[in-house]
Amino acid sequence: MVNNKILLVVEDDLGLQSQLRWCFDEFEVEVAANRQEALVQIRQHQPSVVTLDLGLPPDPGGTREGLATLEEIVNIAPMTKVIIITGNDDRNSAVQAINLGAYDFYLKPVDPTILVLVVERAHRLWELENENQRLQQIRHHSPLHGIIGNSNLMLQAAQTIEKVALTNATVLILGESGTGKELFARALHQLSSRIPNRLVAINCAAIPEQLLESELFGYEQGAFTGAIKQTKGKIECAHGGTLFLDEIGDLPLPLQAKLLRFLQERVIERLGGREEIPVDLRVVCATHQDLEQKITQGLFRPDLFYRISEITISLPPLRDRGNDVLLLARTFLSQFNREFNKAIRGFTRDATTAITHYSWPGNVREVENRIKRAVIMAEGRQLTSADLELDTASVNNADIFPQAYHCENAVTTLRIARETAEIRTIRRALQYANGKISQAAKLLDVTRPTLYSLLEKYQIKVD
Closest CB 248 distance from ligand ATP, rounded Å: 11
Output 184 or 219, the one with its CB closest to ligand ATP.
184
Output 368 or 419, the one with its CB closest to ligand ATP.
368
Output 177 or 431, the one with its CB closest to ligand ATP.
177
Residue 382 near residue 342 (C-beta atoms within 8 A): no
Closest CB 142 distance from ligand ATP, rounded Å: 8
Closest CB 149 distance from ligand ATP, rounded Å: 5
Instruction: Give me the amino acid identity at 203.
Output: N
Q: Determine the distance from the C-alpha atom of residue 231 to the mean position of all C-alpha atoms in its chain, rounded to a whole number.
A: 40
Task: Report the candidate in 243, 278, 249 with the shortest Cα–Cα distance to residue 171.
Answer: 243
Q: H/E element holding 354?
A: helix 349-357
CA distances from residue 195 to 76, 125, 161, 238, 279 in whole angstroms, order as listed: 42, 37, 15, 11, 16
Q: Name the residues that contact ligand ATP, by CB under 6 A.
A: 147-149, 175, 177-183, 246, 288, 364-365, 368
Output 72 or 408, the one with its CB closest to ligand ATP.
408
Peptide bond into 302 cis (omega under 30): no
Output 100 or 183, the one with its CB closest to ligand ATP.
183
Distance, CA of 205 to CA of 223 (rounded, Å): 24
Closest CB 331 distance from ligand ATP, rounded Å: 7
Output 32 or 283, the one with its CB closest to ligand ATP.
283
Closest CB 92 distance from ligand ATP, rounded Å: 50
Closest CB 79 distance from ligand ATP, rounded Å: 24
Helices (H), 204-348: 209-217, 234-237, 253-265, 291-296, 302-308, 324-339
**Sheet architecture: strand order including 199-203:** 199-203, 242-246, 282-287, 171-174, 311-314
Give the nearest residue (CB) to ligand ATP.
180
Distance between terminal CA atoms of the chain?
Answer: 48
DSSP state of 378: -
Closest CB 289 distance from ligand ATP, rounded Å: 10
Distance, CA of 268 to CA of 255 (rounded, Å): 13
Output 258 or 288, the one with its CB closest to ligand ATP.
288
